[in-house]
Amino acid sequence: MESWKALVVQIMTPRVCLCAGLRCRRSTSKQAYGPPKQQPEVWYKAASKPVQRNAKHNRSDNMTLSGKAWTWVVAGLLAVMFLGTACVEGVGEFPVPAEEAPVPGVTDDEVVLGTHSSLTGPVAVYSQIALAINAYFEYVNETKGGVNGRTIKLLIEDDGYSPPKTVDLVRKLVEEDRIFALVNGFGTPTHLQVVDYLQENGVPDLFVATGATEWVKDPEARPMVFGSIPNYVGEGIILGQHIAETYPGLKLGLMSQNDDFGADGMTGIRRGVGDALDIVGEETHEVLDVDLASQVDRLHAAGVDVIAIWATPQHFATAIKHARLNLNWDVPFVLSLVSANELTVLLAGPEVIEGTVSLGYLKSAFEIDDPNVAKHHKLVQDYMGAENGNTLTLYGQYIGELVEEALRKAGPDLTREGLIEAAESFTDFRCSICLGPVNTSPTDHDPVQGGFLVRAEGGRWVRFGDLVTYEGVLPGDMMVEDLAR
């Protein structure tokens, strides 16, 4: 029996200690296991008590087990051997759930967002958008305590409308500043350089500040990105339909910026016009071109009767001023909504721009009898230091309200996945300054799908006609037949 006792000690001691030692080593890894556990007393420790000899049987008191009892002991030891081996091989452990990594840009009392904008450069006028978004967040922080107990911090980077700078600055926002999400990145040529980088890094890319179809044409391929304004194809179809109905049988000239911004717009115009007009000239321009006089000259020589133009305010102003003041040419212009704002009126002059047609989807800054527009003017005065609001600051507030609602719907336990789910769940959401509803879904990342025609009248962009929509139709498939009033 002494040989059995020796076997007990020989077998059990290394197996149990090995397993205990492995458990301690594993528990130092916070990825898979919790803190080290205190090891329980092992049952065979009683063998270390002083041995009392039994005179009659000349053997230890604790060795008085019967043969059957020792059979059970040996069976137990074999089980311990198996468990010890299982422990060594990782089978006998129950893993403790890993500690979740902190969500980038989120603390108990703050959420950090980022954006790239053009505070300087050829389209610096649009800097008012980012400043207005920030002003709205400051208003929310001060009057509402933020969203779900967290204040909103917006980091604004100035890329000067330069794509290479956009790449560097967005990398900084993601990798150094550790933003939770990118919001309203500005510009088609700039944001195209970072949209896939943001997707690959799992960074929500909310409400991009362009109507390029790249953001909304395939939500399955780019699930992290959302548009914000009517996409340029949809807008072009609406304006093209207006041209077809107003100027049938005449000659149409096209002018556009030589990138996706212009290309999408012209695709929509062509679909909207159909065969109602003859397209007799098409001119493009670059972002850094000084003016569009030569393009206007060529369309004038081609004898066009109406011009559809996709251009920023400065470029459009040079085009229409050259036509009106230098050529004495009263050709009608139909303009992308990105330039249907007060700056364009200022640059071109109210009399020069009179009668130009575009599209609108937000209330106008001059509608001060509307309490929400009046409230907007007060907001930008208090939190932005502006004298008054305008089309661009109204757009900035609209973006701020979308972000606020997405954060609210995402709930207090913020994750990037939860934010995307929230951004995909807008149903007939009405921002305070919107003219129509905002709807999104997992298959539709295009929040605003339609608008009202607007006309420059006395220096203001005045709505006319009915709301025109293309709700739920992706730009790749959209045609005039999809428009609804």
Q: Which residues pair with 183 in a beta bridge?
A: 206
Contact 270, 279 (CB under 8 A): yes
Looking at residue 126, its pLDDT comes to 94
Looking at residue 98, its pLDDT comes to 52
Residue 179, CA distances (Å) to 207, 235, 423 in order: 16, 32, 17
Q: What is the dihedral of CA 24, 29, 35, 36, to 10 degrees?
A: 0
State the CATH class of domain 233-360: alpha beta
Burial class of residue 398 (count of CB atoms within 10 Å of its CB; 0-12, 13-18, 19+): buried
Q: Which of 368, 405, 340 is nearest to 136 (CA)?
A: 405
**How many other C-beta atoms are found inside a 10 Å radius of the C-beta of residue 33?**
20
Q: List all residues 6 or more positions away from 403 whose beta carbon is below 8 Å from its beta carbon.
A: 113, 133, 137, 152, 183, 206, 207
Looking at residue 474, its pLDDT comes to 87
DSSP H stretches of helix in 163-259: 163-171, 188-191, 195-200, 232-246
Distance (Å, whole) CA 448 – CA 230: 5
The DSSP element (H or E) to which 294 belongs, if any, is helix 293-301
Q: Which pTM value belongs to this model?
A: 0.79
450: left (phi over 0), alpha (psi -120 to 50) or beta: left
- Say if 110-230+367-448 and 233-360 have the same CATH topology: yes
The DSSP element (H or E) to which 310 belongs, if any, is strand 306-310
Looking at residue 483, its pLDDT comes to 95
The amino acid at 18: L
Helix axes 371-383, 127-144, angle to 10 degrees: 100
Every domain of the chain and the residues it spans: 2-89, 110-230+367-448, 233-360
Looking at residue 100, its pLDDT comes to 67
The DSSP element (H or E) to which 455 belongs, if any, is strand 450-457
Distance (Å, whole) CA 244 – CA 246: 6
Contact 288, 314 (CB under 8 A): no
Q: Which CATH number fits domain 110-230+367-448: 3.40.50.300, 3.40.50.970, 1.10.287.370, 3.40.50.2300?
A: 3.40.50.2300
- Average pLDDT for consecutive 10-residue bins of the chain (485 residues)? 43 38 33 33 34 39 45 45 43 50 94 98 94 98 98 98 97 98 97 97 97 95 97 98 98 97 97 98 96 98 98 97 98 97 96 98 97 98 96 98 98 98 97 96 96 98 96 90 92
Distance (Å, whole) CA 60 – CA 337: 99
